[in-house]
Amino acid sequence: MKDAGSVGRHLALALLLGLAWTLLVGADGDQEDFDAADAAAHAGELSAEEVQRLTDRRLRELGNQVDSLKEETFATKSRLLLLREAVLRRSVAGSKLVVVHENAMGKEYKLVQVLYALDRQPKFNRLDHSGELDGIKRSVVVDEQIVPGSHILLTQMVFKGNGWGVFRYMDGYTFTLESSYAFTAEEGKAHEILVRAHEGGTFFTPLEQRPTISYRLTSHDLDLAKASEVSF
């Protein structure tokens, strides 16, 4: 004789599983099979063991569906992460320019004025006779995003002669250096230009002919760009 309580519990569980199955997969054919089994259970044609087997089968099928949903969720998450990375990369699109000023002139020269301009637009301009400007030997003067393409960096430096000993005559000299540097900014790249004021020529070159400006360009990926630690 059948255990009515056990059959009732299994029947209720089977009905719940049937509803969950319908919501998850919406498979009409499989649902018809389950409805037929449900009707048979109501009519008393299925034993408790048969209801249990039916329940176990539905649990396995639901478990497989859950695993499939987990895989789809993981794949969707991976696609979202890739999309996020692409958006972040586009957000830093463009180019970056860092200009590093370096004063390597000897003590016979005192820097009193510096001007840097990019494409005729002033970026840094300082006039100082106190000696503070001359005391800064290396520093970042420009650090900003720029449009990819061709650019021209204009540099102007003014030095006063700082005579001493046999070079006392240098006190009456003013040296104005003007120079320009053309470069191409690449998309997604950071470009660092080192602008160096130094003494050119040889030991026999007169002091008044030695001041000169040179440039050195280095480039790297934009997200690896690093500026100098010292700034004006």
Same domain, residue pair 33 and 86:
yes
- pLDDT digits over 98-119, tens only? 999 999 998 888 999 999 999 9
Domain of residue 211: give its range.
95-224
Same-domain status, 109 and 74: no
pLDDT tens for each residue of 46-92: 677 776 777 778 778 887 888 888 888 878 877 777 776 665 555 45
Q: What is the mean pLDDT of residues 5-21?
A: 53
Tally of domains in the chain: 2
pLDDT 10s digits, 142-174:
999 999 999 999 999 999 887 665 556 667 788
The answer to whether 14 and 41 are in contact (CB under 8 A) is yes
176 in the same domain as 83: no
95 vs 75: CA distance, rounded Å: 34
| Rg from Cα positions in the chain | 40
Burial class (CB in 10 A: 0-12, 13-18, 19+), 154: middle
In a domain, residue 232? The reply is no
Question: Does the predicted TM-score (pTM) go above 0.85?
Answer: no
- Residue 162 covered by a domain: yes
> Does residue 106 share a domain with residue 63?
no
Picking from 91, 110, 140, the residue at the C-terminal end of a domain is 91
Write down the H helix ranges in 92-224.
Answer: 132-135
**One domain, residues 84 and 128:** no
